[in-house]
Structure 1
Amino acid sequence: MDPLTLGAFVAIATVLILVAGIPVAVGLLITASAFIAIFDGPGALEELPYKFFSQLDNFALLSIPMFVIMGAAIASTRAGADLYEALERWLTRVPGGLVISNLGACALFAAMSGSSPATCAAIGKMGIPEMRRRGFPDGVAAGSIAAGGTLGILIPPSVTMIVYGIATDTSIGRLFLAGVLPGLLLVGLFMVWSLYATWAAGQGGEALTRRIYSRAEKFEVLPRVLPFLAIILAVLFVLYGGVATPSETAAPGALLCVLFAVVIYRMYSFTAIWGVLRDSTRESVMILFIIGAAGVYSYMLSSLFITQEIAAWIGSLEIGRWWLMGVINLFLLVAGFFLPPVAVILMAAPILLPIVTTAGFDPYWFAVVLTINMEIGLISPPVGLNLYVINGIAPDISLRTILVGSVPYVLCMVLAIVILCAFPGLATWLPDLVMGPAIGGI
């Protein structure tokens, strides 16, 4: 059978299996095993365990559970509420300060936790009721938090970027730096839209209900927040300074986050600490299981010459490089509607990266564009994980209202991709400045 035709059958089978509700990793293993057994013979299945475990035989993977523990330790405390409270106190005199506080808290908490759902939950529990109390539209209140939560997979340290680096053999440090300015760009676009939507809705109650905080009240909350921010800055400084690898850097960062959670928030009970370790283990195993299964899936595609044929076919298309990038973005956008970011990256990035670099695009710039597409998926149906998190913490706001309120932020993300296409230096300038130009374009 022609490899392209076979690839179409593989794609259809994969979608049907995953849509059936089977876990992503299990679905990838079932699909890969079935097609290898059919076209290469049952004897070829002996190779699959080796491919699965060899995919996990990577020192860089040690950074994933460590960063997950960092996020879990922070998410298990009141750090999100305190971060929100600190920004709200300092920005209370700024017009639209509450919206800016919420989005700023989302950006900072996303950097600390690296988790989009955790960011939505931690900041949304405080921010959404307060914005509604002050008369902000429900769509702005819910949509801004849902969109702000997506920043967790872009702003460093990001587990998603680590997975991309491992899947494509690119520098994780450069990937982290590449996400900084685009992350700030998204925060700025979110703030601009939120302020405009608030003004357009005629919201005028904020000034009437705004509380004026004393200087002592402003400084009172900072000692509970600044230590966690200091850890993140220290981790990034050590990483970019060439002192240690991501895996070596993440380990002390995770330990310090757990210790600060214990000391600052008095998380002394064994049950609380066990909960952090349990949740971290569950999430880490899920990610690593997907990574191993994706390795088997990629081996199947390569063994049946599907990957090579798709790459050759795309490369032979008589279209411009930007038309090609438009097609790739459309594919990533649709994939992000149905699959989690880690699965999309592991399945698509190894295939797409050679095509992208051959067309003259920077691999780190592409990582940012890919991640923003995955962010759109987090606030778009049918999966749209952040939408359901917001609906869970504010059940009196209908899912339709949350979805409609999120649409403008989706457009902000699309605009960010357009801006990155026009000014790719937003993603490449900082990595080149800190770490020097990439050798050989990578």
Structure 2
Amino acid sequence: MSPELASLFLFGGFILLIALGLPLVFALGSVAIIGTYFLWGPQALAMVGLRTFSAANSFVLIAVPLFIFMGCMLERSGIATDLYDMMYKWMGGVRGGLAAGTVLICGIFAAMVGVSGASTVTMGLVALPSMLARGYDRRLSVGCIAAGGALGVLIPPSVLMIVLGLYANVSIGALFLGGIPAGVLLMVLFIAYITVAATLRPELAPALPRGERAAWRERLVALKAVVLPIALIVLVIGSIVSGAATPTEAAGVGAFGAMVCAAVQRRLTVTAVTESARITLRLSCMVIWIVFAASIFTALYTAVGAQAMVRNALTALPGGRWGVIIGMQAIWFLLGCLLDPIGIMIITVPLFFPLARSLGFDPVWFGVLFVVNMEMAYLTPPFGFNLFYMRGVAPPSVSMADIYRGVIPFVAMQALGLALMMVFPGIITALPRAVL
């Protein structure tokens, strides 16, 4: 069977099963197993077991439940509320200060939890009522929270980066280091937009009245809220950067550190640990089963010669090798409007990463570009996850149209950041090369 015909049947079947409501892992695994059977016969099904066993033996997978547990424990430790209170006291007196500060808190929280949903929901519950009560524009308020929450997939430790590193055979430590400056750049762009918008139109994000502003003594006392988060971030990321621990070992350190944080806050209860473990089990099983299905699908799709077909199609684009890279970004953006990041990774990574390597591009740089695109996917209508997270926590006065319109400027900032990272690849690659 030709690669073109195989692609038609495999992806057509996959999309059909997804449209019928079958979960991603079963849609992907079913197509892979059925395709293997009809292409090479029942004896080829041994490959399914071998690929699954090989994926299950990956030491890196242990980091997934550990980082998820770390994020769940931190959610229950009340750190997000304390951080917002600190930011409120320091930045509330500045136009747009609550929105800009919310982005900063989302960035700090992202560096502790590793997933987007936790940051978005937590800050939606904590920050959104405060901003709306103080006259902030609804669209700006929901936009900054949704955009800040999306940083969870880019700023390490990121669960998506762990799966990507395993799936694309790229150093996870290098991806983590490349994600730090990329995340900081996007935070700066978000805050710059908020500042300019609040300056040009003060009614969008008014400063707190003088009577509500905290005294300097209160501000200094509130700084203790950042001690535990910063210590945990330094412990986890520092252990990876220094070479003292692998990402998997650092995940264990982070999980233990999150329990210590909860104990210091006097919130380490049996209920908190049990609920965190239950959520960790559910999310980890989902991620790991997807990895198994993706491994089988990739083996099949590679065997039918799809890589050569995709390479020929993309290299036919005008603009040489940069035309290929831009074409890949456009495909990722379009898929981000329709599919979840794991699904996009499964479909495109086995095809795009070998091609990018063959064209001489740094795989770490290319991997971070992919994660930035997936961060955009959390915000792009109609199916951006963060849009629905915001709908779930926003009051009835905030409509879905407000959420859609609120994220548009932040998607534009993400696109600008992506362009800067492509034009100046050193933004991503300088830190990994200096450290590793």
Q: Mark yes or no: TM-score above 0.5.
A: yes
Partner SS, residue 300 of structure 1 = helix
1:253 and 1:202 mapped to 2: Cα distance? 41
User: What is the match of residue 227 of structure 1?
Assistant: 228
- Tell me, yes or no, if structure 1 residue 306 matches structure 2 residue 320: no
Q: For the Cα contact (< 8 Å) 1:224–1:264, is it kept in 2?
A: no
User: What is the match of residue 6 of structure 1?
Assistant: 6
1:265 and 1:149 mapped to 2: Cα distance? 26
User: What is the match of residue 408 of structure 2?
Assistant: 407
How many residue pairs match? The answer is 434
User: What is the match of residue 335 of structure 1?
Assistant: 335
Kindly report which structure 2 residues correspond to 1:183-222, keeping only aligned pairs within 5 A, or say none: 183-203=183-203, 205-208=206-209, 211-222=212-223
Q: For the Cα contact (< 8 Å) 1:302–1:308, is it kept in 2?
A: no
User: How far off its partner does 1:430 sit?
Assistant: 1.0
> For 1:269-313, what per-residue CA distance to the aligned partner results, in whole angstroms no more than 9, with x for missing partners?
x22210011111111111111111100110111232223433355
Q: For the Cα contact (< 8 Å) 2:335–2:344, is it kept in 1?
A: yes
Q: For the Cα contact (< 8 Å) 2:155–2:176, is it kept in 1?
A: yes
User: What is the match of residue 278 of structure 1?
Assistant: 278
> For 1:308-330, what per-residue CA distance to the aligned partner results, in whole angstroms no more than 9, with x for missing partners?
43335544666511211121111
1:101 and 1:416 mapped to 2: Cα distance? 20
User: What is the match of residue 371 of structure 2?
Assistant: 371
2:316 and 2:206 mapped to 1: Cα distance? 59
2:294 partner letter:
A
User: What is the match of residue 433 of structure 2?
Assistant: 432
Q: Which runs of 5+ in 1 are unaligned?
A: 436-442
Q: For the Cα contact (< 8 Å) 2:97–2:207, is it kept in 1?
A: no
Q: For the Cα contact (< 8 Å) 2:198–2:206, is it kept in 1?
A: no
User: What is the match of residue 48 of structure 2?
Assistant: 48
1:266 and 1:131 mapped to 2: Cα distance? 27
- Tell me, yes or no, if structure 1 residue 133 matches structure 2 residue 128: no
User: What is the match of residue 61 of structure 1?
Assistant: 61
> For 1:131-168, what per-residue CA distance to the aligned partner results, in whole angstroms no more than 9, with x for missing partners?
22222211100011011111000011111111111112
2:22 and 2:102 mapped to 1: Cα distance? 36
Query: Structure 2 vs 1, CA of residues 404 and 99 (structure 1 numbering), >3 Å: closer, same or farther?
Result: same
1:26 and 1:295 mapped to 2: Cα distance? 13
User: What is the match of residue 28 of structure 1?
Assistant: 28
1:235 and 1:279 mapped to 2: Cα distance? 21
User: What is the match of residue 160 of structure 1?
Assistant: 160
> What is the alpha-carbon root mean square deviation over aligned residues?
1.9
User: What is the match of residue 438 of structure 1?
Assistant: none
1:368 and 1:337 mapped to 2: Cα distance? 19
User: How far off its partner does 1:169 sit?
Assistant: 1.6
User: What is the match of residue 345 of structure 1?
Assistant: 345
Q: For the Cα contact (< 8 Å) 2:153–2:160, is it kept in 1?
A: yes
Partner SS, residue 337 of structure 2 = helix
Q: For the Cα contact (< 8 Å) 1:135–1:206, is it kept in 2?
A: no
Query: Structure 2 vs 1, CA of residues 76 and 338 (structure 1 numbering), >3 Å: closer, same or farther?
Result: farther
User: What is the match of residue 176 of structure 1?
Assistant: 176
TM-score, normalized by length of structure 1?
0.93
Kindly report which structure 2 residues correspond to 1:106-145, keeping only aligned pairs within 5 A, or say none: 106-145=106-145
1:231 partner letter:
L
User: How far off its partner does 1:361 sit?
Assistant: 1.8
Q: For the Cα contact (< 8 Å) 2:173–2:240, is it kept in 1?
A: yes
> For 1:365-409, what per-residue CA distance to the aligned partner results, in whole angstroms no more than 9, with x for missing partners?
111111111111111223211111111111321111101110111
Q: For the Cα contact (< 8 Å) 1:112–1:229, is it kept in 2?
A: no
